[in-house]
Copies of this chain bind each other. A is one copy, B any other.
Amino acid sequence: MMEERHRGTPIRPALELTDRQRTVLRAVVEDYVLTAVPVGSKALLGRYALGVSPATVRSAMAELESLGLLSHPHTSAGRVPSDLGYRLYVESLMREADLDQSDRLMIRHQFSQVQLTSNDWLRLAASILAGSTRSAAVVTPARSRRARFGHVQLVALADGTRLLVLVLRDGNVVQRRLDQMAIQRELPDAVLDQTELDLTAAALNAELAGLSAPQVRRRSDKLPALAARISTAVISLLEEADSVVVEDIFTDGIVNVLEQPEFAKGSKLRPILEVLQRSDFLEQLVPVLTRSGGVHVIIGRENTNDAMHEVSLIFAPYGAPDRALGLLGVLGPTRMRYPRAIPTVRYLSTLMNELINIHYGETQ
């Protein structure tokens, strides 16, 4: 069961390790994660009293290395876990516990503390993730894969402009000012007072409920002239919502990554920072959105993105597959505290789930 929980790329060879090999691998990973120093046989025994001699550990290490689970920075330096070693560790060696009750309470408390808008939730989630895991955190807003028309309202403002408020079916609200001059030009007869606006909104609501951008486009010729004109704005808003797969991402704790010795010199950090700002790297995670969910771990070179060959991602979706879905998770060096990060990400994803359900109600 625990072995099945964290699958990323399915590169898991059917490795049969002896108990000793497993123990040594676990010790090496945990020691290296802690110290960031390649770990040698003697140093290992100093910290882990395994009840065997250094020579025995050495031979176990040599075996693990030939299996591709450990590697040598150079001859005669300690061992370092390979990506595969980390994967094995994550999948079957790690002693993973759920988050402490106290941690959970503290996190929940922070969310309850403030009267928050949904953007603030995301910011807070990122901040908590970053702080709790000492890694960089990324949170994307919950969005439908495909934006659908929910409900529209046209409002004549006091200052004379006209506002289109579109509530998407996933509950997000977007709005845009109408370009009155253009409308007047194209439809000289249009009145655009609140009465006509209400009529137009009613027509749009009756015709477009539940439709996606292309569907609205097809339907729009059947609408009355003004409604048809305004539907172009609706289409543009829907398309915008579609295009924004992972646009507004909230990051926090980049500094934490900077602190890690492997990224101490800026040039190492550079590509990551670049990728993090452009957010392309989340694309490889989009399949997660469609699948069942749960925590996903991507380690080092398992990343499709070249810039991320030295970092691990731990991500989970939140929301509901048929409704709005978002992504949250952390990014850090492959030498990451997986047993801490994974439960944290998992807990935050269930928490955000709850929040979203309370906030948006259970409606479909």
At the interface, yes or no: A175 with Cβ under 8 Å from chain B?
yes
Q: How large is the interface on A (under 10, 10 to 19, 20 to 34, 35 or more residues)?
A: 35 or more
At the interface, yes or no: A267 with Cβ under 8 Å from chain B?
yes
In the complex, which residues 232-277 of chain A have their Cβ closer than 8 Å to any Cβ of chain B? Answer: 236, 240, 248, 252, 254-255, 258-259, 263-267, 269-270, 273-274, 277
In the complex, which residues 39-88 of chain A have their Cβ closer than 8 Å to any Cβ of chain B? Answer: none
At the interface, yes or no: A189 with Cβ under 8 Å from chain B?
no
Copies per assembly: 2
Q: Are the CB atoms of A361 and B255 closer together than 8 Å? A: no
A263-B266, A266-B265 known; A159 vs B150 contact (CB < 8 Å) = yes
Contact of A255 among B159, B177, B274 (CB under 8 A): B274
Q: Is the interface of A mostly helix, strand, loop or mixed?
A: mixed
Min distance, Cβ A159 to any Cβ of chain B, angstroms: 4
CB closest chain-B residue, reference A165:
B165
In the complex, which residues 318-333 of chain A have their Cβ closer than 8 Å to any Cβ of chain B? Answer: none
Measured between beta carbons, the chain B residues less than 8 angstroms from A209 are: 158
Spell out A's residues near B (CB within 8 Å).
115, 117, 119, 150-151, 153, 155, 157-161, 163, 165, 167, 171, 173, 175-177, 205, 209, 236, 240, 248, 252, 254-255, 258-259, 263-267, 269-270, 273-274, 277, 359, 361, 363
